[in-house]
């Protein structure tokens, strides 16, 4: 045990000698974790802190202040340029590490930011800010469980930390833990009432749970505090869209893109809203604006293609879906919708192949399940279609379209009673299905009912 301890001390001293104070601090923290009462490590830690303090001079403090001023103005690139060379000589300053990491995060370089924040934590493990910053870097990498742990570590060190509570709420929401997310947002707002970002985040959690009235009230409260926030206007528009208040949604989302003409998501959302109002030309124009701003976002291409398809322009839509599949061969929406176009054109075998590919990637993709069953029936494989629909209904028993397709397949197989039962179930789930009602009456006539 003593030999292992000596080896750890040797590694820590070597890190100090080469000026890598975060590495040395991490080793000392590890020793303390295993030997909490060890006086030797406490003396070594104090000596290293003293050495770090001696390296901090007025020039470094001035450079830090200037870099902080640039960061507060949103000039993250200049912060990284200024602090980069300084970090090589002053790696033991946690404030520098945190500021450097924050600037890297502002430049969408979360992995490098994570490394800086971990160095800051190694130097000051009792301070909560480093853990909160680390959580932000992990969240930007979509490592939500790890981000959750980092935010909780920050809150263990400081319970009255509204920013960390808000950030914790965002990752809990990403993990689908909405009740816990709302509790985190409520705690944040109790500590910092009237914080528009937290109110907006809380409203998005409510929207995800389809609590539309509460979500709308939250977005409107956030906008009352900060009226010129494009993202919040778009969120409100999405909430109105989900309530089928299409014209109101267009009004709010238009405000967002007028405030921020380069807001690709805003133009995409405007396209969705305009499509629901029946303004096909306006929707296409909005999607094209979105694609010009963010051609890498496949969802935008899919939305534009879907609109073309609904407008009867199948060939143009197919070209868009093919372009999307060139970018990402595993885009299940593009696979399914291209299959639907081919199915409508009578290319049933090719359509079936695309539906199978989509379901191979996402076995729970409901639209592809429905389309696959129809393609099997179109090919004359009625028994296979009936089996496919029955299997899909095991996981989706309340989907009227599946019951309707099952009924048609059973009707083709001559299973009159089974077909009638499926039509009845389809109508129970969706009374507006005229085809199901007509076929149910026909089947009853067949049975002299």
In order, the DSSP letters of 301-343 are: HHHHHHHHHHTT-HHHHHHHHHHHHHH-TT-HHHHHHHHHHHH
Output the six-digit token pair for 317.
């839509």
The top-scoring range by mean pLDDT among 102-106, 181-185, 279-283, 415-419 is 181-185
Q: Categorize the per-residue pLDDT at 14 as very low, low, confident or very high, splitting at 50, 70 and 90.
A: low
Map tokens 């998501």 to a residue: 265
The domain ranges of the chain are 295-366, 381-449
Say which range, 6-10, 143-147, 358-362, has the weakest mean pLDDT.
Answer: 6-10
Check residue 18 and give its pLDDT: 55
What angle separates helix 332-344 from helix 314-327, to the nearest 10 degrees? 150
pLDDT of residue 200: 96
pLDDT tens, position by position, 126-182: 778 889 999 999 999 999 999 999 999 999 999 999 999 999 999 999 999 999 999
Of the candidates 22, 14, 198, 164, the residue with the CA atom closest to the CA atom of residue 93: 22
pLDDT confidence band for 93 (50 / 70 / 90):
confident
DSSP state of 180: H
SS3 content of the chain, % helix, strand, coil (to 5): 80, 0, 20
Q: Is the pLDDT reported for residue 435 higher than 90?
A: no
Asked if the domains at 295-366 and 381-449 fall in one CATH topology, the answer is yes
Would you identify the CATH topology of the domain 381-449? Answer: 1.25.40
Average pLDDT over residues 80-94: 75
pLDDT average, residue stretch 207-232: 95
Mean pLDDT of 252-273: 91
Flag whether the pTM goes above 0.85. Answer: no
pLDDT at 255: 95
Mean pLDDT of the chain: 82
> Measured between alpha carbons, how far is 207 from 388 in angstroms, rounded to an integer?
34
d(C-alpha 427, C-alpha 433), whole Å: 6
C-alpha angle with apex 317: 291 to 365, nearest 5 degrees? 90
Residues 6 or more apart from 139 whose CB is under 8 A from it? 147, 167, 170, 171, 174
How large a percentage of the chain has pLDDT more than 90? 32
Q: Which residue has the tokens 């409510």?
A: 206
State the pLDDT confidence band at 292, using cuts at 50, 70 and 90: confident
Whether 219 has a pLDDT exceeding 90, the answer reads: yes
CA distances from 132 to 119, 139, 152, 181, 224 (A): 14, 11, 9, 16, 28
Would you state the structure tokens that stand for residue 180, as one six-digit string? 């816990």
- Residue 1: pLDDT over 50: no
pLDDT of 111 higher than 70: yes
Q: How far apart are CA 50 and CA 254, in angstroms?
A: 58
| pLDDT value for 102 | 86
- HSE, side-chain direction, 13 A CA sphere, residue 4: 5
Confirm or reject CATH 1.25.40.10 for domain 295-366, answering yes or no: yes
Encoding tokens for residue 340?
Answer: 């639907």
Cα 242 to Cα 208, 238, 248: the distances in Å are 10, 6, 11
Residues ≥6 apart with Cβ < 8 Å to 217: 203
Does residue 222 register a pLDDT over 70? yes
Cβ neighbours of residue 30 closer than 8 Å, sequence gap 6 or more:
8
Six token digits for residue 140: 């930007």
In this prediction, residue 171 carries a pLDDT of 96
* Helix H or strand E segment including 377: helix 366-378
In the block, residue with structure tokens 């000392």: 28
- The answer to whether 328 touches 364, Cβ cutoff 8 Å, is no
- pLDDT band for 400, please (50, 70, 90 cuts): confident
Q: What is the pLDDT of residue 396?
A: 75
What the block records as the tokens of 214 is 């509460």
The pLDDT > 70 percentage for the chain reads 82
């Amino acid at each position: 045990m003593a030999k292992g301890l000596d080896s750890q001390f040797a590694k820590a001293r070597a890190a100090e000698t080469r000026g890598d104070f975060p590495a040395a601090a991490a080793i000392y923290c590890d020793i303390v974790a295993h030997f909490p009462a060890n006086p030797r490590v406490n003396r070594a830690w104090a000596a290293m802190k003293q050495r770090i303090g001696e390296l901090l001079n007025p020039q470094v403090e001035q450079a830090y202040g200037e870099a902080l001023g640039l960061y507060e103005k949103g000039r993250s690139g200049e912060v990284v340029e200024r602090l980069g060379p300084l970090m090589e000589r002053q790696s033991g300053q946690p404030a520098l590490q945190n500021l450097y990491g924050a600037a890297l995060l502002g430049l969408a370089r979360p992995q490098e930011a994570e490394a800086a924040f971990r160095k800051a934590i190694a130097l000051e493990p009792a301070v909560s800010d480093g853990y909160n910053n680390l959580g932000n870097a992990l969240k930007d990498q979509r490592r939500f469980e790890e981000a959750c742990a980092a935010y909780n570590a920050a809150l263990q060190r400081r319970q009255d930390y509204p920013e960390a509570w808000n950030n914790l709420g965002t990752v809990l929401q990403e993990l689908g833990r909405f009740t816990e997310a709302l509790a985190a947002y409520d705690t944040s707002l109790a500590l910092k009432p009237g914080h528009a970002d937290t109110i907006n985040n809380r409203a998005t959690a409510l929207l995800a749970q389809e609590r539309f009235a509460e979500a709308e009230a939250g977005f409107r409260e956030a906008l009352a505090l900060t009226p010129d926030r494009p993202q919040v206007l778009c969120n409100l528009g999405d909430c109105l869209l989900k309530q089928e208040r299409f014209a109101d949604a267009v009004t709010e989302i238009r405000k967002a893109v007028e405030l921020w003409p380069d807001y690709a998501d805003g133009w995409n959302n405007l396209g969705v809203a305009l499509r629901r109002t029946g303004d096909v030309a306006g929707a296409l124009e909005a999607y094209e604006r979105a694609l010009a701003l963010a051609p890498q976002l496949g969802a935008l291409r899919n939305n534009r293609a879907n609109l073309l398809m609904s407008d009867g322009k199948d060939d143009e839509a197919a070209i868009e879906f093919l372009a999307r599949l060139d970018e990402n061969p595993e885009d299940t929406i593009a696979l399914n919708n291209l299959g639907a176009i081919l199915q409508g054109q009578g290319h049933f075998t090719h359509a079936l192949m695309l539906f199978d590919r989509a379901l191979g990637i996402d076995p729970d993709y409901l639209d592809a399940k429905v389309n696959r069953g129809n393609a099997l029936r179109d090919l004359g494989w009625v028994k296979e279609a009936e089996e496919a629909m029955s299997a899909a209904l095991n996981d989706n028993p309340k989907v009227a379209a599946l019951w309707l397709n099952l009924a048609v397949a059973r009707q083709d197989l001559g299973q009159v009673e089974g077909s009638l039962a499926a039509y009845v179930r389809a109508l129970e789930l969706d009374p507006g299905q005229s085809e199901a009602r007509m076929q149910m009456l026909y089947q009853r006539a067949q049975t002299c009912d």
